[in-house]
């Protein structure tokens, strides 16, 4: 059995007013694409930022452990953390229009990562940056090195972001909704690029998305989050073949519609009746208010994540048949 590259355990994140992520656990193995999927506001982006300790002001990691490449990132010293960020663990944000510094040339912004982590000179960094720009499909890279972000389209900027993220051959790339802000036609190109880079560089990708079509096409495994909790975790094939959590089933029913798999791509996850429960929901299963199969016991305590078969875990006392098992912390 392979050792996980990233192991998140019991990660709990809170703002002063409320806890937004509860006891989230998952693993990412070397070279795979793990999708973290859920509706907006379910805590998946906060979870991703917490992995790099880049939480917005006010948010804090309350409990849990993030073991990455032998280091617990939750307790790591700022210096250690800085050495990890951008080198073995890198990040792509959702909004390519705002995630690049508008007043600096894009080439310089790529070169900066390598100069920081590999201590190479200006000329070498420039040469490598141009290569990276070519690698991600920016034509005429030599000349475009000195261009500013506003000279690029959204899709091109996301390619620049990807070049920056893979510059130091990271072991894990976290991509927070990397294609949400892009045109549908560009989305597939960017995801294809990410996937081919993953193969070429042998890195793992943690793909944060709300798009089940993206999950079906590009992910190896999937972790579904609802209201700040993990509700189901499975390899992609069994997940799409037979989702176990009522929420996941609802999602797939809502997305599949009448024409089957072909139409996943553009559907969103918010088509289940009812509205997203607040992540601050404290008692019982957070999905209970919208759940078609709920029983009285669902209101009592939040269900634990249990393995139905190896690798397929679900947090639902009804489907798991664990009504009588007492919930754990």
Partner 1 sequence: MTVLGRAGRTLRRTAWQALPTTIGIIVLCFFLLKMVPGDAADVIAAEAGSATAETMAALRARFGLDQPLLTQLLSYLDNLVHLRLGYSARFNMPVSDLILARLPNTLLLMLAAMIMALVVGILAGWVMAIFANRWPDRLLQVVVLIFYSTPGFWIGLMAIVLFSVKLGWLPANGNMTLGTDLTGFALLADRAQYLVLPSLALASFFIAVYARLTRASMLEVQRQDFMRTAAAKGLHPVTMQLHHALRNALIPVTTMAGLHLGNLLGGAVVIETVYGWPGMGRLALEAVTGRDFNVLLGVLLFSSLLVILANVAIDLLHAWLDPRIEVQ
Which residues of this chain interact with partner 1, rule CB under 8 A? 49, 52, 54, 81-87, 90-91, 93, 95, 98-104, 112-113, 116-117, 148, 150, 161, 164
Crossing angle of the two packed helices 122-135 and 154-166, in degrees rounded to 10: 130
Least distance (Å) between residue 73 CB and partner 1? 13
H/E element holding 197?
Answer: helix 184-201
Pick 29 or 148: Cβ nearer partner 1: 148
Residue 159 and residue 129: Cα distance in Å, rounded? 12
Q: Measured from the CB atom, is 49 or 264 closer to partner 1?
A: 49
* In the complex, minimum distance from the CB of residue 28 to partner 1, in angstroms, rounded to a whole number: 17
Residue 106 near residue 145 (C-beta atoms within 8 A): yes
- Dihedral sign from CA coordinates of 214, 179, 65, 201: positive
CA distance 62 to 176: 22
Phi-psi region of 265 (alpha: psi -120 to 50; beta: other; left: phi over 0): alpha
- For residues 198 and 131, what is the distance between their CA atoms, to the nearest angstrom? 17
Question: Cβ 23 to partner 1, closest distance in Å?
Answer: 25
Indicate the residue among 52 and 276 with the shorter CB distance to partner 1.
52
At closest approach, how far in Å is the CB of 103 from partner 1?
A: 5
Query: Which is closer to partner 1, CB of 80 or CB of 242?
Result: 80
Report the Cα–Cα distance between both ends of the chain, in Å, rounded.
28
Least separation in angstroms between residue 276's CB and partner 1 is 24
Spatial separation of the C-alpha atoms in residues 72 and 248, rounded to whole Å: 31
Residue 252 Rama label (left phi>0; alpha psi -120 to 50; beta) = alpha
| 3-class SS of residue 226 | strand
Alpha helices, H only, 100-139: 106-118, 122-135
Least distance between partner 1 and beta carbon 160 (Å): 11
Q: For partner 1, give the closer residue by CB, 84 or 236.
A: 84
- Closer residue to partner 1, CB minimum distance, 143 or 263: 143
Nearer to partner 1, 150 or 299 (CB): 150
> What minimum distance in Å lies between the beta carbon of 175 and partner 1?
12
Residue 149 C-beta: closest distance to partner 1, Å: 9
Residue number with CB closer to partner 1 (76 or 254): 76
| C-alpha to C-alpha distance for 37 and 90, rounded to whole angstroms | 19
């Amino acid at each position: 059995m392979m050792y996980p590259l990233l192991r998140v355990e019991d990660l709990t994140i809170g703002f002063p007013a409320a806890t937004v992520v509860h006891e989230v656990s998952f693993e990412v193995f070397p070279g795979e694409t793990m999708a973290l999927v859920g509706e907006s506001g379910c805590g998946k982006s906060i979870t991703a930022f917490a992995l790099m300790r880049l939480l917005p002001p006010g948010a804090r990691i309350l409990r849990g452990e993030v073991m990455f490449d032998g280091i617990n990132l939750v307790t790591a010293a700022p210096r250690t953390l800085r050495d990890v960020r951008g080198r073995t663990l890198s990040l792509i944000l959702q909004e390519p229009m705002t995630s690049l510094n508008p007043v600096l040339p894009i080439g310089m912004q790529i070169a900066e990562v390598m100069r920081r982590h590999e201590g190479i000179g200006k000329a070498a960094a420039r040469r490598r940056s141009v290569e990276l720009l070519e690698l991600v499909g920016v034509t005429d890279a030599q000349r475009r090195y000195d261009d500013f972000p506003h000279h690029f389209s959204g899709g091109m900027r996301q390619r620049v972001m990807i070049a920056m993220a893979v510059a130091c051959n990271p072991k894990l790339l976290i991509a927070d909704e990397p294609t949400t802000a892009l045109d549908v036609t560009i989305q597939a190109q960017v995801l294809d690029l990410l996937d081919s880079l993953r193969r070429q560089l042998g890195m793992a990708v943690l793909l944060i998305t709300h798009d089940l079509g993206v999950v079906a096409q590009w992910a190896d495994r999937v972790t579904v989050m609802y209201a700040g909790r993990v509700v189901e975790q499975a390899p992609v094939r069994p997940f799409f073949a037979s989702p176990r959590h009522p929420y996941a089933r609802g999602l797939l029913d809502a997305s599949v519609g009448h024409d089957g798999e072909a139409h996943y791509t553009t559907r969103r996850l918010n088509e289940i009746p009812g509205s997203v429960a607040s992540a601050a929901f404290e008692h019982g299963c957070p999905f209970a208010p919208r759940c078609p199969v709920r029983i009285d016991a669902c209101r009592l305590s939040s269900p634990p994540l249990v393995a139905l078969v190896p690798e397929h875990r679900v947090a639902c006392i009804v489907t798991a048949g664990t009504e009588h098992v007492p919930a754990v912390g």
